[in-house]
Structure 1
Amino acid sequence: MALAVVPELAGVAIGLILIALGTGALKSNISSIVGMLYDEDRSKRDAGFSYFYMAINGGAALGPLLAGWTRSLGGFHAAFALAAVGMVAGLIQYSLKMRSLPARASIVQKPIDTPGLLRAVALAAGFVVVAAVAWQSGVVDSGNLTHVVALVSLAAAAAYFVTMFRSSEVTAQERRRLTGFLPLWVGCALYYGFLLQKFTTVSVFITDRVDIVVDGWEMPAEWLSTSSPLAVILLTPVVASLWTRMGDRQPPAALKYAIGFTIIGCAYLLMTALEMSNPGHTVPAFGVLAVLAIAGSSETFIGPTGLSLATRVAPERFKNQTVGVWLLALACGSLISGLFGTLFAEISNGAYFAVLGGAPLAVALVLALSAKRIDTLTR
């Protein structure tokens, strides 16, 4: 709502801060609650998280469509107001249904005491001061902000892993599970480095090379990005049903990751074929839409699986923190995506997308060969 009613830079700053705080409070906690629903039936855990992920992507698909349409009619403030209405509707729905959740979902396992709260506030205030000084001095600017945030996220994830491995409150079995979770966390960061290309280099490619005019009608640019979440929505019921039918015979998490990496690798190889068949010429919009849909469908095998695994292997003392660490993999993926982006300007488009297609296939092979060992560690 701040983005809708507060003008200019102040609205952007206030809105982004509130979004960050709200997302931080929501994402790790809601994922942990979903994990609680399947404590007694682990064979259905990945299927349950698949439907949870489908709901997330439902918003990701409707958001650009509705916000893009509203922006075209009433500007950005109207679009942000529409987003606020959607959030209020979600809050009402949660309030009405929260009584159906497991009883322990309302229990704070490790409530923060007053000294701990004061330390957290002091740490947050110190971080804000350091960030402000870095911005004013020019150490951090709009050109390197994304990389700085990603590096901070990587440092935070590393600190959490070290803390959990060294904690006396983490049992030997929980530490072993974290050992198996670590390579999949790295795999998740790599995966989102590939997937997030759709917001960077693929967006540049679309702007420069894709004709979005169909019979005189110009397709809104926001609509192109909806093919990825729509693919997740359409594929999720099929995949979730498959995991449910397979039960305890379903493939281990690392093998599901390998499937996802294979799919996204094939998507970028298709992009390579589109580029090479139209060198220097306009590329059909529907071809790129197909690439984005295939790339998006790969998330069905990695996103829900990673969330499910994070809630299952999380030490009792660090339930929400482990889910938070998994979410930090997305931020680290943005760093990897940016590093790939620097290569985009150095080589031809065809060669670049060939690299993006081949690299995930190599990761998929490594994960497939390591799947049995990783599964043993995470049990």
Structure 2
Amino acid sequence: MSATSAVSTPQRGFFGHPRGLSTLFFAELWERFSYYGMKAILAYYLYRSTAEGALGLDKSFALSLVAIYGASVYMSGVAGGWLADRVLGGQRAVFYGGVLIMFGHIALALPIGVAGVYTGLILIVLGTGLLKPNISTVVGGLYAADDPRRDSGFTIFYMGINLGGFLAPLVCGWLGEEVDWHFGFGAAAVGMALGLIAYRFGRRNLGDSALVPPNPLPASERGALIGRIVGFSLGAVAVVAALVLTGLVGAEGVINLISAASVVLPIGYFVVMMRSPKTTSVERSRLTAYIPLFIAAAMFWLLFEQSATVIAAFADTRLDRHFLGFDVPPSFIQSINPVMIILFAPLFALLWVKLGKRQPSTPRKFAYALLLVGLSYVLMMVASQGDPAVRASFLWIIAMYAVMTSGELLLSPVGLSVTTKLAPRAFASQTMGLWFLASAAGQGVGAIVVRFYSDENAVAYFGVLGGVSIALGLLLAAGTKNIRKLMHGVD
């Protein structure tokens, strides 16, 4: 990030933060509304029966498809980060990404069956790859590197994400489950359109934060290279489609390939940045420190992102959803986490400001996050004990999300912030894309793992995953001192 970006941007005007934060807050709110609204009903639309207006696919395959879609969304962030760094700049990448996302939700809203699902998901994957890493880079560009409001600003931004995430299942979930699935997907398209409007009219508040590419391609090379990239991408899609249509590779085979890519891609990207002559020795050391943080984040998201797969299925068939006199639709369960974020985030933001230099270091926050998400799965393990035909109390899911959400606030907004600080300057947006590859890797592995879930083996499923997360959290806590040395003053 250049020093000029922080100077040229209005410094106060949104709860003591730059005015540009409000623009990005509302744009991300509506983008996340569209994302989580669609995701709240996607699994149910895939595996429920055709008599209910759904597609009637195999349940295990449906959960795996939702997980691999999530992985693909975040894998595309690397390409989106590269385009922002070399061609578009962060601000334009955010806008173009939003347009693609909107058209993706429109495709899902059309009653054309599986074709609409695959078309819509591909467009959303491409659009989110442009928008998601770059909007966070623009947020980071509103602040100087040593601005003490930085973590607090990212936490406020994160509240916008979760306000959208709270509203989305209530609106899209109700429309999808009670009216028509395609009305639910249509509401997601409207949400993204509102996000684009908020961004377009508030863009003047962003100043020059991520306005131009930090490492632009020479004009003479730009057209030819982009043409090759587009040609390669279209060719790859055509090859995969041909393999599926001819029966040489089934849909599960494609899922396995993407799962493998979700692990291989971040490894390759670390190698590229480490070996680049544009990466200084200090930046290389900071990237080394980033590796254990990346692994911790991948493990965290492997568990957390099962909210739309395994936990959604648990809520559908194993949870007593009669609560406080209401019969809660299963899609509404996914609003619990955003509600808790909205309640807890201000407390965490105030805590970091209050503690100042005395707050836990980033590696220790990540360690605590792993311990908490592991504990949340232990709670699910306890809730799953007994006869699978007997539904668990609704209080178990509330307790699970309370613990998981606390872990999320220790990792996700802090991870966004530390990534902008540890990123090599020549790879600013691409390193943010690498941060989202942690979620891709977690969900890519999760696409394989969720196949082992069933109502009958829920105790073992939640217990094993929870135990692995707790063990990794303890290991990270033990290595915190060495990691901090590699971070060269970033904390």
TM-score w.r.t. the length of structure 1 is: 0.91
Shift of 1:188: 0.8
Shift of 1:115: 2.2
Call closer, same or farther: CA 1:17–1:277 in 2, change over 3 Å. Answer: closer
Equivalents in 2 of 1:349, 1:41: separation in Å? 46
Call closer, same or farther: CA 1:74–1:342 in 2, change over 3 Å. Answer: closer
* Alignment partner of 1:125 is 2:223: no
Tell me which amino acid in the other structure corresponds to 1:236: A
Shift of 1:5: 4.0
Residue in structure 1 matching 2:159, options 54, 72, 77: 54
Shift of 1:192: 0.9
Shift of 1:299: 1.0
Match of 1:180 in 2: 289
Which shifted more, 259-268 or 69-78? 69-78
* Alignment partner of 1:82 is 2:191: no
* Alignment partner of 1:239 is 2:348: yes
Call closer, same or farther: CA 1:6–1:320 in 2, change over 3 Å. Answer: farther
Call closer, same or farther: CA 1:139–1:305 in 2, change over 3 Å. Answer: farther
Match of 1:13 in 2: 118
Equivalents in 2 of 1:95, 1:215: separation in Å? 42
CA deviation digits over 1:115-153, x for unaligned, max 9? 221222122123212322332344543334433322222
Call closer, same or farther: CA 1:123–1:211 in 2, change over 3 Å. Answer: same
Match of 2:223 in 1: 114
TM-score w.r.t. the length of structure 2 is: 0.71
Equivalents in 2 of 1:208, 1:199: separation in Å? 14
Query: In 1, are the aligned partners of 2:142 and 2:209 still within 8 Å (CA)?
Result: no
Match of 2:277 in 1: 168
Equivalents in 2 of 1:74, 1:149: separation in Å? 34
Task: Give the unaligned 5+ runs of structure 1.
Answer: none
Equivalents in 2 of 1:56, 1:313: separation in Å? 23
Equivalents in 2 of 1:215, 1:242: separation in Å? 32
Match of 2:3 in 1: none
Helix, strand or coil for the counterpart of 1:14? helix
Helix, strand or coil for the counterpart of 2:363? helix
Which shifted more, 122-131 or 166-175? 122-131
Match of 1:94 in 2: 199
Equivalents in 2 of 1:346, 1:71: separation in Å? 25
Tell me which amino acid in the other structure corresponds to 2:270: F
Tell me which amino acid in the other structure corresponds to 1:98: R
Query: In 2, are the aligned partners of 1:192 and 1:334 still within 8 Å (CA)?
Result: yes
Equivalents in 2 of 1:158, 1:266: separation in Å? 29
Equivalents in 1 of 2:455, 2:115: separation in Å? 37
Tell me which amino acid in the other structure corresponds to 1:269: V
* Alignment partner of 1:67 is 2:172: yes
Equivalents in 1 of 2:154, 2:248: separation in Å? 41
CA deviation digits over 1:63-105, x for unaligned, max 9? 1111012224541222222212211111111122221114242
* Alignment partner of 1:43 is 2:148: yes
Call closer, same or farther: CA 1:49–1:14 in 2, change over 3 Å. Answer: same
CA deviation digits over 1:240-259, x for unaligned, max 9? 11112222332211111111
Call closer, same or farther: CA 1:216–1:310 in 2, change over 3 Å. Answer: closer
Task: Give the unaligned 5+ runs of structure 2.
Answer: 1-105
Call closer, same or farther: CA 1:152–1:133 in 2, change over 3 Å. Answer: farther
Equivalents in 2 of 1:251, 1:265: separation in Å? 20
Call closer, same or farther: CA 1:247–1:326 in 2, change over 3 Å. Answer: same
Match of 1:349 in 2: 458
Equivalents in 1 of 2:343, 2:189: separation in Å? 26
Residue in structure 2 matching 1:199, options 289, 303, 308: 308
Tell me which amino acid in the other structure corresponds to 1:223: F
Query: In 2, are the aligned partners of 1:227 and 1:296 still within 8 Å (CA)?
Result: no
Note the 1:133-144 alignment, pairs <5 A.
133-144=242-253
Equivalents in 2 of 1:335, 1:77: separation in Å? 27
Shift of 1:201: 3.1
Identity of aligned residues (%): 36
Match of 2:339 in 1: 230
Query: In 2, are the aligned partners of 1:271 and 1:353 still within 8 Å (CA)?
Result: yes
Match of 1:146 in 2: 255
Residue in structure 2 matching 1:218, options 313, 320, 327: 327
